[in-house]
Chains A and B, each alone.
Chain A
């Protein structure tokens, strides 16, 4: 079974630009979460989607947005990039069915964003 796939793996942008990151969850997983990881702040929750609906959102500015498609694939977008947005962006999927919470998150390898 293929794992969580994130693209692109690495990208470099300049301040003010925008970026879109993509995540394909494990087949059959309908819940997708996004996390930002930096050396100073560690892993921080961005948002979670289930069945195309955003169910939870972390404390990030409105420049960070996301969406989920009917096939459970997800994208996140960061507009007006700032230097501080440089980070590893991780996507995770889970077997959450909408009624039973199983807990375990399956992470992708991440998208390493560098903002210059």
Chain B
């Protein structure tokens, strides 16, 4: 069955550094992959979508890569700020697609001043 793995350990970094989060998946060849941000007690907020034919996508300080050979996506936040502290979720569509997404457990990022 489809599986997504995100580092369950919290990632602690210093303000101004680049945060890199990893999403690995198995038993699957998704047409795209999404990243969401979730703050405590709030619903997830969509950040970026990258398609299988795209190697890299950027949005302001965010960069996502998608390696379909390694079955891995990397999510980077450059010049990180304390306001970037949140849980970041990776999501893939179930085979059969539509809006049925499978989410990773998320990685909690803490950016320290």
Interface of A is mostly: strand
Asked whether, in the complex, the Cβ of B34 is within 8 Å of the Cβ of A103, the reply is yes
A74 at the interface (CB under 8 A from B): no
Q: A90-B44, A104-B34, A109-B42 are in contact. Are A96 and B98 (CB under 8 A)?
A: yes
A105, B101: Cβ atoms closer than 8 Å? yes
Question: CB-CB < 8 A to B98: which residues of A?
Answer: 31, 48, 50, 55-56, 96, 101
Q: Is the CB of B103 within 8 A of A42?
A: yes
Instruction: Identify which of A42, A50, A56, A103 contacts B104 (C-beta below 8 A).
Output: A42
Interface of B is mostly: loop
Any A CB within 8 A of the CB of B99: yes
**A26 interface residue (CB < 8 Å to B):** no
- Whether A33 contacts B103 by the Cβ 8 Å rule is no
Contacts of B104 in A (CB 8 A): 42
With A33-B99, A56-B96, A88-B41 given, name 5 new contacts (CB 8 A).
A45-B94, A48-B98, A48-B100, A107-B43, A108-B43
Show 20 residue pairs from A and B whose CB-CB distance is below 8 angstroms, ordered by the A residue: A4-B43, A31-B98, A43-B103, A44-B103, A45-B101, A50-B98, A56-B98, A56-B100, A90-B44, A96-B99, A101-B97, A101-B98, A101-B99, A104-B46, A105-B44, A105-B46, A105-B101, A107-B43, A108-B43, A110-B41
Residues of A in contact with B (beta carbons under 8 Å apart): 4, 31, 33, 35, 42-45, 48, 50, 55-56, 58, 88, 90, 92, 94, 96, 101, 103-110, 112
